């Protein structure tokens, strides 16, 4: 179970990237399957070549940024449908990833990686590693929440909500999409690099179907915890990633065939999508909304009173 927590927290970085494209930009980006492998391939190839593991991991982020930007350019400047733009980039990345690695699989078991200190101390798969990866996930969550609270982040959110409105205010929505998709795939590629070093290898097929895992994390987390604010939504994504990995681990523990994991992932996404439509879940969500409203009412009334007082004083 600890290993499932480790993977849940590491994959939360990827889930945050999917959250940017899927929820913030309202962009169904299928580049994820390719950019995840690109991150793993870049890190593995550079580490095997003797490059510092931290620099190799940083290089993987750059590759992800470029991949996402290409998808954004195809859509924003080329006018290509979002789904098709992502598919085209994903297909191109398959060949590029093979070129980067030189073969279909690159082992990392006899090389130093950023996981080597933990592996050498036999801390991988223990509560210590789980806490470290939790801290990593929370760090990226905090950075993302901060970014989305800036003027730039608000413009990006508005781009996903109402392009026509935000464009009328002078915001370049094409640029927002390109930057947003670049950031999204940069996080996905970073996750790929971390997973490759955690598992001890990079494989050309390790990103296949990963978009389903990302969507499952986003949808499950937000179906359970909601998305009333950006902070709640981002934390819900991290929680969703952990829940998803725990469910997969439980499925393996009870003896389900590992070959069925993709099917289980798809079923999880379907269930998560249907959850908000069930009456029981609706009632629970309504009660939670009422409790939140009661908690925030005194705060809102206090600030409203302060604003009124300030207005009266300025009028005098």
Confidence (pTM): 0.86
pLDDT, average across residues 159-180: 89
144 pLDDT higher than 90: yes
Tokens of 49: 């070549």
pLDDT, average across residues 274-292: 65
pLDDT, average across residues 302-313: 47
CA distance 189 to 67: 9
pLDDT, average across residues 135-163: 92
Lowest average pLDDT, out of 78-82, 175-179, 211-215, 286-290, goes to 286-290
168 pLDDT higher than 70: yes
Structure-model confidence comparison of residues 283 and 271, the more confident one: 271
Quick one: angle between helices 230-253 and 261-274, nearest 10?
140
The gap from C-alpha 178 to its chain's centroid, in whole angstroms, comes to 17
Q: How confident is the model at residue 208 (pLDDT cuts 50, 70, 90)?
A: confident
pLDDT, average across residues 65-79: 94
297 contacts: CB under 8 Å, gap ≥ 6: none
CATH architecture, range 1-260: Orthogonal Bundle (1.10)
On whether the CB atoms of residues 193 and 212 are closer than 8 A, the answer is: no
pLDDT reported for residue 63: 96
Half-sphere exposure (Cβ direction) of 131: Cα atoms closer than 13 Å: 4
What are the sequence ranges of the domains in the chain?
Answer: 1-260
Instruction: Report the chain's mean pLDDT, rounded to a whole number.
Output: 86
305 pLDDT higher than 50: no
296 pLDDT higher than 60: no
Give the model confidence (pLDDT) of 230-280 as tens digits: 899 999 999 999 998 988 888 888 887 878 888 888 888 888 777 767 665
Distances (CA, A) of 89 to 86, 93, 155, 191: 5, 6, 26, 18
49 contacts: CB under 8 Å, gap ≥ 6: none
pLDDT reported for residue 125: 82
- Nearest CA among 132, 221, 154, 148 for reference residue 183: 148
């Amino acid at each position: 179970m600890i290993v499932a927590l480790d993977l849940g927290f590491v994959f939360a970085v990827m889930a945050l990237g999917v959250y940017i494209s899927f929820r913030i930009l309202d962009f169904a980006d299928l580049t994820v399957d390719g950019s995840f492998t690109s991150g793993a391939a870049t890190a593995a190839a550079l580490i095997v070549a003797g490059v510092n593991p931290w620099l190799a991991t940083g290089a993987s982020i750059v590759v992800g940024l470029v991949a996402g930007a290409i998808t954004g350019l195809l859509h924003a400047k080329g006018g290509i449908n979002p789904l098709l733009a992502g598919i085209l980039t994903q297909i191109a990345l398959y060949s590029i990833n093979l070129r980067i690695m030189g073969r279909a699989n690159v082992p990392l078991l006899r090389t130093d990686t950023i996981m080597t200190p933990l592996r050498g101390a036999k801390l991988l798969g223990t509560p210590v590693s789980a806490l470290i990866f939790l801290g990593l996930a929370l760090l990226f969550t905090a950075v993302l929440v901060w970014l989305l609270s800036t003027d730039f982040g608000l413009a990006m959110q508005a781009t996903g909500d109402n392009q026509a409105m935000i464009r009328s205010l002078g915001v370049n929505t094409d640029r927002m999409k390109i930057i947003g998709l670049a950031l999204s795939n940069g996080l996905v590629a970073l996750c790929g690099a971390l997973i490759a070093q955690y598992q001890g290898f990079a494989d050309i097929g390790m990103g296949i179907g990963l978009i389903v895992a990302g969507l499952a994390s986003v949808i499950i987390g937000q179906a359970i915890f909601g998305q009333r604010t950006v902070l709640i939504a981002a934390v819900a994504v991290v929680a969703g990633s952990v829940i998803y990995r725990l469910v997969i681990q439980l499925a393996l523990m009870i003896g389900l065939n590992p070959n069925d994991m993709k099917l289980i992932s798809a079923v999880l996404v379907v269930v998560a999508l249907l959850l908000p439509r069930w009456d029981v879940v609706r009632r629970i969500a309504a009660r939670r909304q009422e409790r939140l409203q009661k908690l925030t009412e005194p705060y809102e009334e206090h600030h409203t009173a302060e604003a009124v007082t300030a207005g009266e004083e300025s009028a005098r």
